[in-house]
Amino acid sequence: MIKNDTWIAQMAQKGMISPFEAQQIRHADDLPVISYGLSSFGYDIRLSPAEFRIFRHIPGTVVDPKNFNPENLEPTKLYTDENGSYFVLPAHSYGLGVALEKLDIPNNVTVVCLGKSTYARCGIIANITPAEAAWKGHLTLEFSNSSSADCRIYANEGVVQLLFFEGEACDTSYEDRKGKYQDQLEKVTLAKV
């Protein structure tokens, strides 16, 4: 069953989401922001300003998820202007960022992440895997820019919505099987095997 705002707020009080905003935030410091915080049946997390990396082509190489070359990712600059802080994702490119919020998912819940419509309307596709039962850490967030124009992705503002699905507790959680992406820090985590 998908969980509602009351349940999400109660679980956040127990440490499931930190930091936690108990309502949708649409303005910060008297400026409009891409919304983040609690919604009716989800929670919109923010992009951390800590790090954003863009895939770059290195002639003669192939990206290999079993032997990932960190040279294929290039750190990008955080810009700031009157609209806020942002990273630029070039046209037809792919980038990795990290969630500002830290998650601590219960062992009877799996989280699915969906892209926000504000970014979808600009050609940004969020490609994010689920956070399984008992997963902990800062999510690494994946974004594709399918448009023919460069696009800003704002730090400290909403980038994806989390949907929480509860079931019976599983026999073996992500934590129990020592999942390779457990306890991610607030930095981009590269592909692992």
pLDDT of residue 148: 96
Domain count, the chain: 1
> Which residues 6+ apart lie within 8 Å of 48 measured at CB?
97, 98, 99, 100, 138, 155, 156, 186
CATH number for 21 = 2.70.40.10
Assess whether 142 carries a catalytic annotation: yes
pLDDT of residue 161: 97
Residue 136 domain-assigned? yes
CA–CA gap between residue 65 and residue 191 (Å, rounded) = 6
Dump pLDDT digits (tens) for 141-161.
999 999 999 999 999 999 999
Residue 75 domain-assigned? no
pLDDT of residue 190: 84
Which segments of the chain have a pLDDT < 50? none
Residue 158's beta-bridge partner residues? 46
Contact 42, 21 (CB under 8 A): no
List the structure tokens of 55.
């895939």
Contact 69, 191 (CB under 8 A): no
Options 51, 74, 132, 142, the catalytic residue: 142
CA–CA gap between residue 66 and residue 192 (Å, rounded) = 7
Residue 131 domain-assigned? yes
pLDDT of residue 42: 97
- Domain span holding position 128: 5-58+81-166
Contact 128, 13 (CB under 8 A): no
pLDDT of residue 33: 97
Residue 91 domain-assigned? yes
